[in-house]
A and B are shown apart, each in its own frame.
Chain A
Amino acid sequence: MKSKIFNNKTKHKHELLYKIWSDFSENKIAVVALCIFLVILFVAVFASLISPTDPYDLSTVTIMNARLAPMEEDFSGTIYWLGTDGAGRDMLSAIFYGLRISLSVGVLSGMFALIVGAFFGISAAYFGGRYETIVMRIVDIQLSFPSILVALIILAAFGKGIEKTILALVLVQWAYYARTARASALVESRKEYVDAARCLSLGNLRIMLNHILPNCIPPLIVVGTLQTAHAISLEATLSFLGLGLPQTKPSLGLLIGNGFEFVHTGDYWISIFPGIALLITIVSINLVGDQLRDMFNPRLKK
């Protein structure tokens, strides 16, 4: 007699997505954080369309508008919601463009770091032996240095610029991904379906990519979100110190840095508003990442 399929009733076509959403939405704060982040993402992507002005278009910027306080008008009647900076650029627009830069650098470096980290982590766990020991020692050594220090050393060696900054961020972050990937891959490699794949002579590369990697994705997503926040924060620090991105593409960190000199004279808005934007971005990503981590932790399941 043929066995019946166990669970015939699937309520939704995309059962898995539905389940993920329903678990995620148990934490209302995380849902709010996710909404905020989506707004930020929207702003970053469509910055050029929704900004009131283009702060880097030299034809529209004039020093006459410099250091206007928030909600002040200039002589032509335009209201600057968040004021202007020392060169007359609209803060709101600058923040929108800054968000775009900050997010792109953070996300891009995170993605590359994930690829590199996952590659080394999974292969270390799968092959074991001396290779694993060497890779993991390098990871341990790197992780024992503060990330800002590692980034500074790399930038000092390679110079400034957007590609070099991304490279520095990747080189800082890959170790976190490698460690997480290896922990996950160690567990998966011992499972019987990997033995079955080897029994079926499927080849090592195929097994690592096709069998082990997909099962390591949940913890990597968690690390990914939290690390992206970390990367954005790190980039902001570097730019604040004047070592990261160039002036032509100011991220939020650079805006904060530029506005720092004006704080003493009372023109707080040039530094504080980009700072708040940065804070909201990082906090919302962290809250989403925390909830993802709790969701994927089987011990917390009721």
Chain B
Amino acid sequence: MKPILEIKNLKTHFFKKEGVVKAVDDISFHINPGEIVGLVGESGSGKTITGFSIMGLVDAPGKIVSGSVFFKDTDLRNISPEEMQNIRGNRIAMIFQDPMMTLNPVLRIQTQMMESIKAHDKTISKQEIYNQCRDALGLVGISSPDERMKSYPHQFSGGMRQRVSIAIALLNKPDLIIADEPTTALDVTIQGQVIFEMQKLCKESKTALLWITHDLAVVAGITDRISVMYAGRIVEQGSTDKIINHPMHPYTKGLIKSVPSKNKKGEKLHQIDGMVPAMFCLPEGCAFEERCNQRIEKCKQEQPLVTKEEDGRYLRCFNAGVNYAK
């Protein structure tokens, strides 16, 4: 099966007065049609910039320095802005953490949704467009869609707005949706609803989904594969079951063990000491070395390259194989 999205050795750097920030530093991964893939990382890991790089939304002083982003058979880095415009919102859609990044506060929902379809298909009739929009709202669980179409974004709650953003993303039946922390700002009970709906919709329409988040627990239940990012690089990549239940990279292990539910109540949580290194002065060797409890001499001097393990996962670590006592 040919992947629908294939990223090879992508590097996106930001050129600031104080120095160069290597926000995304040589990452490679792929998404198959209809798959749900999780991209997990904390702040500063570069996950959001990865999403923006795919969509071509990286502005100065940032620039994609090298690497390729293949969507089906096209390298998105080599196409004209008009062609990119055709793909964005049409074949690849994006959902942001803050629904107000998608929704224009002064336009009715109806206007915005219809605009989104019209931009990519000039041939359908207005009535047909309206029907599609109304159906899309119904699909994401918004009751009385005819009335709701005429509302403005501020008349919706946060959860509803996010659902409208999802509806807009699905309008043109894209092949891939990139969702950047779509449920982080939502309440727990609403989060459950939205996760459920996205999962259902993607499975039904066979849309591939890239779910970018810092919350491992959210992706554990719905993704097929997970990539874990740290300081601009992917440190571990593989099937969800393996990554969550049998993590190999020390960072992934630490992350999983830090989650409160994995710890005995009342006792100190497992913590990863220290913090993410300042982006202007990344070390020569492995970026995680300072905080790692499995480090060896080599880690300080060289950056580990990506290796493929026997179980099919990809790993960036010199010393992950050995099993340490938890």
Contacts and interface: CB of A to CB of B under 8 A. Distances in A.
Tell me, yes or no, whether A and B come into direct contact in the complex with CB atoms closer than 8 A: yes
Interface of A: 1, 3-4, 6-7, 9, 22, 302
Interface string B44-73: 000000000000000011000000000000
B122 interface: no
Interface in B278-302: 278, 280-281
Contacts of A3: 274-275
B273 A1 contact: yes
B282 to A, nearest CB: 13
Interface in B1-48: 17
Interface residues of B, number: 9
Nearest to B275: A3
B273 A4 contact: no
Nearest to B60: A302
A264 B278 CA distance: 70
A302 B273 CA distance: 33
Lowest 9 CB-CB distances: which A-B pairs, in order?
A1-B273, A7-B278, A302-B61, A6-B278, A3-B275, A1-B274, A302-B60, A3-B274, A4-B274
Contacts of B17: 22
14 contacts: A1-B273, A1-B274, A3-B274, A3-B275, A4-B274, A4-B275, A6-B275, A6-B278, A7-B278, A9-B280, A9-B281, A22-B17, A302-B60, A302-B61
Q: Which of B273, B278, B280, B281 has the most CB of A within 10 A?
A: B278
A302 B17 CA distance: 11
A4 B280 CA distance: 15
A302 to B, nearest CB: 6
Contacts of A9: 280-281
Interface string B166-204: 000000000000000000000000000000000000000
Interface string B256-275: 00000000000000000111
Interface of B: 17, 60-61, 273-275, 278, 280-281
Contacts of A6: 275, 278
B46 to A, nearest CB: 18
Contacts of A302: 60-61
A212 B222 CA distance: 47
Contacts of A22: 17
Contacts of A7: 278
A302 B63 CA distance: 13
Contacts of B273: 1
A23 to B, nearest CB: 9
Contacts of B275: 3-4, 6
A9 B280 CA distance: 10
A3 B277 CA distance: 11
Nearest to B291: A1
Contacts of A4: 274-275
Given A7-B278, A9-B280, A22-B17, 11 more contacts: A1-B273, A1-B274, A3-B274, A3-B275, A4-B274, A4-B275, A6-B275, A6-B278, A9-B281, A302-B60, A302-B61
B122 to A, nearest CB: 34
Contacts of B278: 6-7
A4 B281 CA distance: 14
B16 to A, nearest CB: 9
A212 B247 CA distance: 49
A6 B61 CA distance: 23
B23 to A, nearest CB: 15
Contacts of B61: 302
Nearest to A11: B18
B19 to A, nearest CB: 10
A256 B20 CA distance: 55
A7 B276 CA distance: 12
Nearest to B16: A302
A3 B271 CA distance: 13
A98 to B, nearest CB: 42
A240 B278 CA distance: 60
Nearest to A26: B17
Nearest to B273: A1
A7 B278 CA distance: 7
Nearest to A9: B281
A9 B275 CA distance: 17
A9 B281 CA distance: 10
A1 B275 CA distance: 11
A281 B273 CA distance: 58
A134 B165 CA distance: 43
A3 B291 CA distance: 11
Q: Which of B17, B61, B280 has the most CB of A within 10 A?
A: B17
Nearest to A302: B61
A194 to B, nearest CB: 24
Contacts of B281: 9
Nearest to B59: A302
A1 to B, nearest CB: 4
